[in-house]
Amino acid sequence: MTVTELVWNQIKISEREVSLAKVLRCGQAFRWKNIDGIWSCALANRVVFLRQVPEGIFYSSLGGTEDSTLAFLEDYLQLSVSAKALYEQWSQVDAHFLKKQQDLQGIRILRQDPWECLVSFICSSNNNVKRISQMCDNLCIHYGDYVASYNGTKYFTFPPPAKLVAPSIEAELRALGFGYRAKYIEKTALLVHLSSTGVADLHALRAADYDTARAALLQFTGVGPKVADCVALMALDKHGVVPVDTHVYQIAKRDYKFKGKGETVTPQINKAVGDFFRDLWGEYAGWAHSVLFTAELKDLGNGVNVKAGEAVKSTKVKKEETFEALTATIRADTRLIAEC
DNA sequence: ACTCCCAGGGGTAAG
DNA sequence: CTTACCCCTGGGAGT
């Protein structure tokens, strides 16, 4: 293993605008690792490293230039949108939001790659964040391209459709623990691969209206209303879409006196709840939904924050330990900055 | 404490 | 409009 010095640059931004600990762990993206308080993920053909201090976010990368990493982050984190301003807006129209938002600052929607987002959320059905993360990791390790290593961790790209079209894919994915989703991924990869422009078709849906994008997404096996809405919101710029699952439905009934009978989210319920929140929160309703949804998560760490040398798998990290490791690193960072 | 058992989980496709 | 689906985990019952 080689020791690599990372060169860090800073984006000056408050935790009220971006909270990496929340954004990267609230069930939008599933591949970010947190090792000794440093966030890392192979994205855009490089390994991106991030760490947050009160003054801002330090970023670094292995592969790719500094300028392009900054450009990538501005796009990925959607820094042109002010979460703080949106929070203020939602707080004015929604008393419940106002009450809840205090501990939930800095949550925003990531602008993810449509293909990765699609596959990730196919994996999310009837599943939990921890296992979804494992599945996404497995996809990269077994089918992605090697990018670089850092501190003993190897980083791989998220595999494009072409890497997932072998006839044996379903069996392989099943062996890797994907369960019935193995077939969904195989079929979806094949469909995208065979389309004239491949993933470009998915990217083009960013410019399409919501109904068009949704209809296109529903064509894929393993994609129903909920998954389609997640992809529309988190990869296709459909900021007003509120993905409605059982959990969101419960929130609507419990906290907003939304009247709906039954526990299951039928297509009608899906639409009614979505319309209800869009009506309340406006153009960026999907972003607001993410804030309140995060409030319901029991453990934001989801057991996937690790210390160097520890395997992600089979490791249970106590919340307190993780927190102390994180704050210790942040303090050390702050000292370093002060000395500079 | 440890094991066994069993529901249920941020949905979807198929009957 | 029900039901099965892969796998993992948490809680409860029992050792």
Catalytic residue among A226, A238, A259, A313: A226
Summarised one tens digit per residue, pLDDT across range A88-132 is 999 999 999 999 999 899 999 999 999 999 999 999 999 999 899
pTM of the full predicted structure? 0.90
CATH topology of domain A82-296: Endonuclease III; domain 1 (1.10.340)
Is A214 within 8 Å of A232 (Cβ atoms)?
A: yes
Q: How far is the CA of A253 from the C1' of B4 (A)?
A: 37
Q: How far is the CA of A129 from the C1' of C15 (A)?
A: 33
Place of tokens 């996937």: A304
Could you give the CA distance from residue A163 to residue A323 in angstroms, rounded to a whole number? 38
Quote the radius of gyration of chain A (alpha carbons, Å): 20
> Which positions of strand C lie within 7 Å of protein CB atoms?
1-2, 5-10
Q: Which residues contact A330 (CB under 8 A, 6 or more apart)?
A: A37, A51, A52, A53, A54
Q: How far is the CA of A232 from the C1' of C6 (A)?
A: 26
Ordered by start, the domain boundaries in chain A are: 82-296
A226 an active-site residue?
yes
Q: Which nucleotide is nearest to A128 (CA to C1')?
A: B9
Give, for all 340 residues of chain A, the pLDDT tens digit: 556 789 999 999 999 999 999 999 999 999 999 999 999 999 999 999 999 999 999 999 998 888 899 999 999 999 999 999 999 999 999 999 999 999 899 999 999 999 999 999 999 999 999 899 999 999 999 999 999 999 999 999 999 999 999 999 999 999 999 999 999 999 999 999 998 888 999 999 999 999 999 999 999 999 999 999 999 999 999 999 999 998 899 899 989 999 888 888 999 999 999 999 999 999 999 999 999 988 887 666 655 666 554 444 333 333 333 333 333 333 333 323 322 2
Is A47 within 8 Å of A328 (Cβ atoms)?
A: no
Q: What is the DSSP string of A251-304?
A: HHHHHH-----SSS--HHHHHHHHHHHHHHH-TTHHHHHHHHHHHT-S-TTTT-
If we measure between CA atoms, which residue out of A313, A48, A297, A2 comes closest to residue A157?
A: A48
Could you give the CA distance from residue A268 to residue A258 in angstroms, rounded to a whole number? 13
Q: How far is the CA of A13 from the C1' of B2 (A)?
A: 49
Beta strands in chain A (DSSP E): 9-12, 33-35, 38-43, 46-53, 56-62, 146-150, 153-156, 305-306
Q: Which residues touch strand B (CB under 7 A)?
A: A 26-28, 124-129, 131, 180, 184, 220-228, 230, 243, 245-247, 265, 293, 297
Q: Is A185 exposed, middle or buried (0-12, 13-18, 19+ CB in 10 A)?
A: buried
Place of tokens 């907003």: A256
